[in-house]
């Protein structure tokens, strides 16, 4: 399995995790939001890895999108999606950093992760 395929597989696992828990009774919506950020991060890293673009170890989606844009400027189109879920990468681990998240927050985070996934797949070989 190629390195970028490993990133895709991990990202798909994050999305599956969201699907499995988002509708559960008393679902931990902060976990859904965290996995949405993680999935988006991994799709971006898959793109970078496939194109042999170096990147520092980071969880900052904004930075990863900017690095992807150095290969293809069209990636700047997903900055709004990245900005909406970037906070969930670290802050969701610390209960004081984020207010109580809702089902709607989790749905929106999931939708942003899917938008980033679809975008990366569409432009993967550009």
CA-nearest of 28, 22, 24, 72 to 47 is 72
The token duo for 113 is: 């992760």
pLDDT digits (tens, 9 = 90+) for 72-89: 999 999 999 999 999 998
Confidence band, pLDDT 50/70/90 cuts, at residue 110:
very high
Rounded to the nearest 10 degrees, the angle between the axes of helix 29-50 and helix 61-71 is 20
Task: Name the residue ranges covered by the structural domains of the chain.
Answer: 3-122
pTM: 0.92
Per CATH, domain 3-122 is 3.40.50.1980: no
> Exposure of 111 by Cβ count < 10 A (0-12 exposed, 13-18 middle, 19+ buried)?
middle
The yes-or-no verdict on residue 24 having pLDDT over 80 is yes
Q: Is 94 helix (H, G, I), strand (E, B) or coil?
A: coil
């Amino acid at each position: 399995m190629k390195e970028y395929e490993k990133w895709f597989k991990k990202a798909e696992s994050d999305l599956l995790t969201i699907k499995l828990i988002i509708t559960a009774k008393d679902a931990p919506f902060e976990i859904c939001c965290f996995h949405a950020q993680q999935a988006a991060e991994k799709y971006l890293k898959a793109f970078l890895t496939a194109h042999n673009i170096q990147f520092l170890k980071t969880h900052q989606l904004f930075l990863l999108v900017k690095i992807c844009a150095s290969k293809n400027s069209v990636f700047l189109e997903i900055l709004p999606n990245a900005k909406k879920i970037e906070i969930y990468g670290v802050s969701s681990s610390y209960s004081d950093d984020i207010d109580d998240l809702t089902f709607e927050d989790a749905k929106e985070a999931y939708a942003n992760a899917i938008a980033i996934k679809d975008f990366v797949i569409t432009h993967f070989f550009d």
